Amino acid sequence: MKLVASLSLFLVAATCASCSKSSPEDTDAGAPVVADPAFGGARPLDVFRVPAGYDRSKPAPLVLVLHGYGASGLLQNLYFHLADIADEEGFFIAAPDGTTDGTQKKFWNATDVCCDFAKTGVDDVGYLTGLVSEIRAAYAIDPKRIYVVGHSNGGAMAYRLACDASDQFAAIVSLAGPFFEDVKRCAPSGPVAVQHMHGTADETVPYDGGVLASVNPGAGAREPSAPSIASTWAALNRCTAPAVEDPPFDLDGNVAGAETKVTRYGGCAAGSDVVLWTMQGSPHIPGNLVADAPRRIYAFLKAHPKP
């Protein structure tokens, strides 16, 4: 998915406060507190950020950031820039790494479409829910405000968590994440708010659905279209209101004008809204997300805690 090459550009200009190490006790107000290498077991968590001013008496939200195929937690964290608002909003960030496959690319075993191409069967649902449990044991995390943001394979993994561990996650945001071809494999025990973002010029995970030929040549599984994913989740969340269109806005600075169209499903169980952001003309990796993109992304999560 060519994410490494594209995201490596961010390493030149970005600072990496999220990459240093510290213990859970080092939580003075002021400078952000970051990674505890004990988290993650055999797959240690290298990117972990505690919000400045963390107060153990006030449980805070946790956002998992999941990388695309061939990328890493570090690169994905830099891409979404959620750390820019984490102190202000008071949320934790954890950006773990998937397993390395035979082509030396990191992946998540997410859906039947993507991206455990060698059929290893690695239990990433178990790994990620276990990681959340470890973090909750060390820090005061609000169990009603645990969220996931993922790109591509990471977006697919966000869907897998919403399907298989809906009791633990309140809301997810998936950027170009391929869902299950066999949608019956998603059977959440409860509603999870979902926001799907997808560029219409995506040639890797096609907006209109299809095979991931550029990633896995010869693959037979077909990912659903972005509108189909949104309507599937509207059905899973028992949304009763008809889809409505909100005013478009500018999200991708490389595309002229207000390119992002918003389709919103309401009347959903437990307030678990479903939203589709259709990014007209944007590719698989929108290369110039506008400055308020992190705030817009987190606003959806923040508005959808568990009841």
Q: What number is the average pLDDT over the span 99-105?
A: 94
Q: Residue 255 falls within a domain, yes or no? A: no
Q: Residue 265 falls within a domain, yes or no? A: no
* DSSP collapsed to 3 states, the chain: CCHHHHHHHHHHHCCCHHHCCCCCCCCCCCCCEECCCCCCCCCCCCCEEECCCCCCCCCEEEEEEECCCCCCHHHHHHHHCCHHHHHHHCCEEECCCCEECCCCCEECCCCCCCCCCCCCCCCHHHHHHHHHHHHHHHCCEEEEEEEEEEECHHHHHHHHHHHHCCCCCCEEEEECCCCCCCHHHCCCCCCCEEEEEEECCCCCCCCCCECCCCCCCCCCCCECCHHHHHHHHHHHCCCCCCCEEEEEECCECCCCCCCEEEEEECCCHHHCCEEEEEECCCCCCCCCECCCHHHHHHHHHHCCCCC
Q: What number is the average pLDDT over the span 201-223?
A: 80
Q: Residue 307 falls within a domain, yes or no? A: no
For residue 20, pLDDT over 70 is answered with no
Q: Residue 252 falls within a domain, yes or no? A: no
Residue 27 pLDDT: 39
Q: How many separate domains does the chain show?
A: 1
Which residue segment(s) compose the domain that 189 sits in? Answer: 3-231+276-302
Residue 162 pLDDT: 98
Residue 147 pLDDT: 98
What does pTM read for this prediction? 0.88
For residue 21, pLDDT over 60 is answered with no
Q: Residue 260 falls within a domain, yes or no? A: no
Read off the pLDDT of residues 104-149 as tens digits, 9 standing for 90 and up: 999 999 999 999 999 999 999 999 999 999 999 999 999 999 999 9
Q: Residue 34 falls within a domain, yes or no? A: yes
Q: What's the CATH code of the domain at 203?
A: 3.40.50.1820
Q: What number is the average pLDDT over the span 296-306?
A: 98
Q: What is the mean pLDDT of the chain?
A: 88
Read off the pLDDT of residues 256-292 as tens digits, 9 standing for 90 and up: 999 999 999 999 999 999 999 999 999 999 999 999 9
Q: Residue 242 falls within a domain, yes or no? A: no
Q: Residue 269 falls within a domain, yes or no? A: no
113 to each of 152, 202, 233, 277, how far by Cα in Å? 11, 16, 17, 21
